[in-house]
Structure 1
Amino acid sequence: MNRTDKVELLAPCGSYDCVRAAVSAGADAVYLSGTSFGARAYAKNFSDEELIDTIGFAHLYGVKVYLTVNTLMKNKEIDSLFSYILPLYEAGLDAVIVQDIGVFDYLHKNFPDLDIHISTQVSTSGRYGASFFKEHGAKRIVTARELSLDEIKDIHDNVDIEIESFVHGALCYCYSGQCLLSSFIGERSGNRGRCAQACRLLYLKEGKKDYLLSLKDMCTLSILPEILDAGVYSLKIEGRMKNAEYVAGVVSIYRKYVDMYLEDRAHYHVDDEDVIKLMDLFNRGGFCEGYYKDNYPKDMLTHKKPNHEGVAVATCVNRLKNEITVKADLPINKGDVVEYGDKYDHTFSESKKKGDIIKLKVTRECRCKAGDKIYRIRNNSLYEELDKDYISAVKKLDISFKLKAIVGEVLELTADCLGYSVVISGDTVERAESAPVSASRVETQLSKLGDTPYKLVSCDIDISEDAFISMGVLNSLRRSVITLLEEKMKNSMNRESVEQSYVMRRDASDSAALADMEQVRYSVLFENGTDYMASLSETLVTRIYLEDPTISDDSLAKLRETKEVYYAFPVVFRKSFMDSLGEKDLSRFDGFLIRSMEEYAYIKASESLKDKAVICDATIPCFNDYTKLFLRSLGLSTTASYELCREELLDKIMDDEMVVYGHIPMMVSARPIGEAISGDITDRKNETYHYVNDFAHNQNRIYSARPLYVRESGFLRQRIVMTAHETMSLRMILDCLQTGKSTDRACTYGHYIKGVM
């Protein structure tokens, strides 16, 4: 397709310096977080006052500001959300980015003219999900990073909604929003903005340690035209934890190539020097292009180290006990920092040319040997250039003045910039007694704009030949008109205040008493490869969920004689899986367990399925009652979140189904671990995690090291998860749950006791 609409380049900002850098480097929009509700809790972030100042500063340059409100929120936290958003809404905030479905509904109802973007944390993967969120008020979706160009184009061709996709920066191993690894290992939830980066650690597999879950950063310069042709409107750069130099460098380079695409698509090409600059700024063992063109990219892992590797600028040619000799493969700048031998670094006090021989001091323990590469981890010259051009510099806007100075009339100065115009008046112009002021002298004085954000490009002066204006008056007039214009431009998107119109109200029936164990009825989720017919003899089991849609009619009929049988959709509903379901008769099932709103919309679009019962799994997080009520309004029941503790669960409307036993998927990833169907990996604490690769549908799972086991949860309906590697029989598990006996293995309460940060 030929694009006629403007492409948006979206920059990450974790500090005000990053905002200045992004604006100066050519970003069309920035995304950032306040001190609450953002998915980067460990970034510097912005106070409420700084957010308002930042909105004004960005709007001065025509740059939009998007606020991340993309964490899951508990009931007590949502109470403060309206007062948090209101002053930002009044200041002209352009959009909010959300993950929590209850927050989405809450903000849309309370701020109906505030644009809402659906975070990548929701894992929107197709046209049905995009259509659902558009129907309920979303302006934009941020696609899952794992989508192919074809999948994105399918959304673009079928749903009239803005598409935002990541084009540069870090990649998560797991589908965003579906990771519990950090949460279960360190009680720091990625869904709450506190990811502990567990995927960047070493893991042991088949006797060998490797960074099995650490992916390279993405760089898409070479395929940028294809991404835009597929229908992506907003090109998103990852990196709210990065510094201002990173933001300036990455934004300026992508600005160059977006403009090249828009101006001359046919002659688009990428300069190698720009890729090296990007690598100097940050890379993990090089770059990859993500999943845009390949479901299983081969060279995607960072085998050497999980953090910045830098650029290879020299090679070790000789090793002595306390010294290495290296040869420069690239020019090295004064102030550059290189790294070698795992933990050694050196800062150059003078520049080196390509081919220069350099001697560096080491100790006996240094692992560097002849043939090893020396990596530059700080390009000082590049950092200084970026600071000079984008960070310390004030970006200038073209301004035009029109001065009217007619003797006997009021002095007037008009300023115009980017379609904004202001006029300020002074005193009556007097006749000069001796030396009248000249037009050129006036223009010189008006052009003295100093460190303001403006530069004078034209000055129309209508002045009487005998007019007198003091330089002090001109200076005061210039300063006043600049202040007035800047205020008008900064406040151009301000809104009138609004009253809170939507506050949750519970019914008395929503505070149900806790269930006795005698009242409990059990559901069982049978994952692929498990014996679901074992449930036939268990009268306490009244519902089963099957992941296999190909179950025979006879087996299904046998199960349905005594139990409800639901089909369990995959965690992420990709187009390939959706297409394969076209051959299956899902109407044979009593209902469905869905793992995304994509699947809900798919079901409702089918005449044969739309009236079936549907329950949301924990992968559609129900963290608060706003989510509960929104889903209930759609006819959906819910599953209790794995990340809420008992007290928090009791604070919610008590009609969830709760998982009380089973190995929980810690990660669901598009990338398999190795080539085997299944296996195990072990972490630094000697905890072993089983994994299962589903090569057909990009649904690869890593399970909790220990099964979850929670008794006396108080929920009327409780669920058991049977995985292929489960060693206990269903009968044994039910017996433990009913009698309170210990299981025959080490288990975990998960977050049932403490909850998560």
Structure 2
Amino acid sequence: MLKRVELLAPAGGYETMVGAFNAGADAVYLGGSKFGARAYADNFDTQQVLDAISYAHLHDKKIYMTVNTLVKEKEIGQVYDFMLPFAENKLDGVIVQDYGVMRLIRDEFPDIELHASTQQTVTGVYGARLLKELGCCRVVPARELSLMEMQAIREKAGVEVEAFIHGAMCYCYSGVCLFSSMVGERSGNRGRCAQPCRLPYQIQGKKGDETYPLSLKDMCTINIIPELIRAGIDSFKIEGRMKRPEYAAGVTSLYRKYIDMYYENPSGGIRVSDEDMEILKGLYLRTGISEGYYHQHNGRNMVTISSPAYNGTSDKVLTMVRDKYLQGEQKIKCTIDAYLTLDEAAVITMTVNKDGEDLVETVTGNDVQAASKRPMDEDAVIKQLNRLGNTPFDAESINVSIEDKGNGNGIFVPASELNELRRLLTEQMLESLSAHSKRQLDNKDAYLTTSVAGSSEELPRKDKKYRQIYAENERKGDYHILVNTRPQLKAVLNSISEYGSKLRIYVDSDLFFSIDEGLAARVMSFAGENAAEFIVALPFVTRQEEFDGCGDILDIINNAASKGFTGILVRNLEQLGFVREHSYRGTVILDYGVYVWNQHAAELLNELNNVDGSFRIDEISVPLELTIHEAKELSKALDARKLMPRTYNIYGRTPMMVSAGCVKKTMDKCSGKLHQFNREETRLIDRMGNVLPVTTNCRNCYNVIWNAHPTSLHKKLDSIRNTELFDHFRIDLTTESMEESALVLGAFLHGDKSAFEAIEQKGYTTGHFKREVE
């Protein structure tokens, strides 16, 4: 028998949840009053979440809660109290992004399933396996994955796969988008995305009106349901917690229809009617739809181009959906049996089937009397017992047994007594069902909510070797420099030979593969003469093909040393899982995209260090969305726990988007250089006239959209250094020419005042140094 796929619907409010269940959803995902990635949805307060859990479990449905934002150090202590009532009431699962939240829920509420959010940017088997090891039983992979990649995760990672099948699509890989945050204060990682991808942009150098090159069409996969099921996907997820109840119910009902149609005849396929497609298009879909990335990596046909607007909605469709699915809560099916025997106590039972088990409740009344006038018949009893309108029950059958012991006059039970027995019976059954759904927690007071606490003696044994190594290191505040191009690398080699302190130079992986023997020899010579360390910066995104066989990442970890490179900058979970599985012994630094916003996140990642030293995370990078105050809070907490050394970024353009979509391909044509070292630049102009560089990474087939201005903290450098909380300071050279790179290096490494003035004249931002994200 085929395992049936779960149909998972969104709910921004209680009515939406009820409508989705009425329409056939097996589970609903919703957000509470905190920590959810849709801060502008109606969302549920604590009591509403508890009511939702109770309602769902009464109907053999599931509730998954989104706790899928990044959580600051000052907030992490609130998570336990926030989650406790939901855990006690048997919340089925939690969708998480933050590693610290993951660790806390895993350790404190082990009965709640952990589902890794699409915000964790899972792009393959290695990241999924790593998350399984850390406690997740399900992952929501990046929407950008192909059907084959989804299937590989399901078959090789040993975790359930939850995949989006319908709704809006982000242009950027979820979890790595900083666009909204950098142009304002509304962070997508905090559930407050302002959707700059839906705004118009011009392509620099191209004539014509503004277009919408970053606005993807909505996903609609109803025609490929059989393929998705056969790929082994466990849960079909409908996007849309901010949309109306009619959307959730209407879309759910149609996917329910065609999923069931497939299971009725798996070999026969399905054919979606034109009428049903029109209904879907009339339920808040954008002007164009696509099947997402399941069968293509990118393309112009996935982008709205001319308009990001929604289709008009059909009043007829909305009325139909409301009338059919939004008319109140479902009833719990039950059977009632009444045994009325003369001179014996009246006995009434109610039976409800729960999880394949019959729950039976019984109430007993007064002795049944002989009728003095008109005897009571079965219909009269049924009429009283069937008055269940204000209860959650619906009697499928009511069986009445009357025994008057042959007195000839019949029996009589007052209607008021039958009503009271019915009331008591429904209350008892509700209590029984509720108890069936609740769990008791033994460790309510076990969680320490203070942000900075504990000593090394209290820490897990696996951490001690690492912390001892860290404790011996002196915090020198030296510079790290990242380069993306050959001219930038040459600028580094030419400019910093006079710099007195130790340097670390990160070389983008694209550039690494282009290094010939001559340049490799120069790198090795420079490293020896200047006490410099060279590190390969892995791609922002890696897909399965880059690991298979003799893929890029394997090539790097096997051959980097031969070119003078001693370590890697890890930029995502996929890479972290891969290098750990391969017991990479070089230096491992986590980039700012492997988010450590709180001490619990660092603790979770610290678990990945092998006691035998075969793998170790050496350093982390402070996230770009933290203010200096928040970064200091985090650093103090990590120092108190003797956790990882950290790097603080002081210069560089922020990568605001990393996308599978290609602006150049969409608005012009593909370079045709897939898997080759090819870095080209396009420029977008926003409504304010800001010019956003867009670089292509053809080797790994993704785009990076950079901020219009670099973040430069040159005026804050002394105050940052004086905190003595950061181990290293990083300079990222992204789109700079050789001359511009030399200018930046002169400013920061040598304190050249004229170079600082040149940076200011070109324009810069201080990013989130003081500007806190919401």
* TM-score of the aligned structures, taking structure 1 as reference length: 0.86
3-state DSSP class of the match of 1:259? helix
Instruction: Quote the Cα distance in structure 2 between the aligned partners of 1:528 and 1:149.
Output: 34
- 1:496 deviates by 0.7
3-state DSSP class of the match of 2:128? helix
- 1:731 deviates by 3.3
1:684-703 alignment runs, 5 A limit: 684-703=687-706
Q: Letter of the aligned partner of 2:386 in structure 1?
A: S
3-state DSSP class of the match of 1:667? strand
- Name the residue aligned to 1:543: 504
Contact 2:627 2:772 in 1 (8 A): yes
Residue in structure 1 matching 2:283, options 278, 281, 284:
281
Instruction: Quote the Cα distance in structure 1 between the aligned partners of 2:592 and 2:278.
Output: 43
3-state DSSP class of the match of 2:75? helix
- Name the residue aligned to 1:120: 118
- Name the residue aligned to 1:593: 569
Q: Letter of the aligned partner of 2:477 in structure 1?
A: V
Contact 1:109 1:502 in 2 (8 A): no
Instruction: Quote the Cα distance in structure 1 between the aligned partners of 2:454 and 2:559.
Output: 36
Q: In the superposition, relative to structure 1, how do residues 10 and 179 fare at CA in structure 2: closer, same or farther (>3 Å)?
A: same
Contact 2:343 2:369 in 1 (8 A): yes
- 1:414 deviates by 1.4
Q: Letter of the aligned partner of 1:642 in structure 2?
A: L
Instruction: Quote the Cα distance in structure 1 between the aligned partners of 2:419 and 2:220.
Output: 49
3-state DSSP class of the match of 2:541? coil
- 1:45 deviates by 0.9
- Name the residue aligned to 1:501: 446
- Name the residue aligned to 2:46: 48
Residue in structure 2 matching 1:678, options 676, 681, 697:
681
List alignment gaps of at least 5 residues for structure 1: 311-376
Residue in structure 2 matching 1:67, options 65, 90, 111:
65
- 1:617 deviates by 0.5
1:543-622 alignment runs, 5 A limit: 543-546=504-507, 547-548=509-510, 549-550=512-513, 551-552=515-516, 555-561=519-525, 562=527, 563-579=532-548, 580-581=551-552, 584-589=555-560, 590-606=566-582, 609-622=583-596
Instruction: Quote the Cα distance in structure 1 between the aligned partners of 2:181 and 2:225.
Output: 35
Contact 2:13 2:42 in 1 (8 A): yes
3-state DSSP class of the match of 2:697? coil
Instruction: Quote the Cα distance in structure 1 between the aligned partners of 2:341 and 2:158.
Output: 55
Instruction: Quote the Cα distance in structure 1 between the aligned partners of 2:336 and 2:520.
Output: 80
Instruction: Quote the Cα distance in structure 2 between the aligned partners of 1:293 and 1:85.
Output: 39
Moved more, 441-450 or 188-197: 441-450
Q: Percent identity?
A: 35
Residue in structure 2 matching 1:191, options 189, 192, 197:
189
1:134-145 alignment runs, 5 A limit: 134-145=132-143
Q: Letter of the aligned partner of 1:499 in structure 2?
A: K
Contact 1:291 1:297 in 2 (8 A): no
Q: Deviations over 1:11-52 (max 9, x none)?
A: 111111111111111111111111110001111111111111
Q: In the superposition, relative to structure 1, how do residues 530 and 506 fare at CA in structure 2: closer, same or farther (>3 Å)?
A: farther
List alignment gaps of at least 5 residues for structure 2: 405-409, 457-466, 561-565, 609-615, 640-644, 670-679
Contact 1:403 1:413 in 2 (8 A): yes
Contact 1:82 1:500 in 2 (8 A): no
Is 1:642 aligned with 2:640? no
Residue in structure 1 matching 2:708, options 705, 730, 733:
705
Contact 2:284 2:313 in 1 (8 A): no
Instruction: Quote the Cα distance in structure 2 between the aligned partners of 1:530 and 1:149.
Output: 39
Q: Letter of the aligned partner of 2:229 in structure 1?
A: L
Q: In the superposition, relative to structure 1, how do residues 619 and 413 fare at CA in structure 2: closer, same or farther (>3 Å)?
A: same
3-state DSSP class of the match of 1:133? helix
- Name the residue aligned to 1:364: none
Q: Letter of the aligned partner of 1:612 in structure 2?
A: G
- Name the residue aligned to 1:480: 424
- 1:408 deviates by 2.6
Contact 1:567 1:592 in 2 (8 A): yes
- Name the residue aligned to 1:400: 335
Q: Deviations over 1:106-133 (max 9, x none)?
A: 2111112211110000010111111111
Q: In the superposition, relative to structure 1, how do residues 491 and 220 fare at CA in structure 2: closer, same or farther (>3 Å)?
A: farther
Instruction: Quote the Cα distance in structure 2 between the aligned partners of 1:585 and 1:35.
Output: 45
1:503-522 alignment runs, 5 A limit: 503=448, 505=453, 519-522=476-479
Q: Deviations over 1:626-654 (max 9, x none)?
A: 11232234332210111001111111126
Q: In the superposition, relative to structure 1, how do residues 149 and 421 fare at CA in structure 2: closer, same or farther (>3 Å)?
A: same
- Name the residue aligned to 1:626: 600
Instruction: Quote the Cα distance in structure 1 between the aligned partners of 2:654 and 2:329.
Output: 52
Instruction: Quote the Cα distance in structure 2 between the aligned partners of 1:733 and 1:629.
Output: 35
1:152-231 alignment runs, 5 A limit: 152-205=150-203, 206-207=206-207, 208-231=209-232
- 1:600 deviates by 1.2
Q: Letter of the aligned partner of 2:585 in structure 1?
A: D
Moved more, 652-661 or 269-278: 652-661
- Name the residue aligned to 1:463: 402
Residue in structure 2 matching 1:489, options 412, 428, 433:
433
Q: Letter of the aligned partner of 2:444 in structure 1?
A: E
Contact 2:13 2:44 in 1 (8 A): yes
- 1:530 deviates by 4.6
Instruction: Quote the Cα distance in structure 1 between the aligned partners of 2:432 and 2:306.
Output: 52
Q: Letter of the aligned partner of 1:447 in structure 2?
A: N
Residue in structure 1 matching 2:732, options 721, 737, 741:
721
Q: Deviations over 1:291-348 (max 9, x none)?
A: 001112431122333231x2xxxxxxxxxxxxxxxxxxxxxxxxxxxxxxxxxxxxxx
Q: In the superposition, relative to structure 1, how do residues 577 and 47 fare at CA in structure 2: closer, same or farther (>3 Å)?
A: same
Question: Aligned pair count?
Answer: 684
Residue in structure 2 matching 1:443, options 369, 382, 388:
382
Q: In the superposition, relative to structure 1, how do residues 727 and 283 fare at CA in structure 2: closer, same or farther (>3 Å)?
A: farther
Contact 1:529 1:724 in 2 (8 A): no
Q: In the superposition, relative to structure 1, how do residues 250 and 727 fare at CA in structure 2: closer, same or farther (>3 Å)?
A: farther
Q: Deviations over 1:428-484 (max 9, x none)?
A: 222223332212322233233225333322222222143322222222222322232
- Name the residue aligned to 1:333: none
* TM-score of the aligned structures, taking structure 2 as reference length: 0.84
3-state DSSP class of the match of 1:79? helix
- 1:726 deviates by 4.3
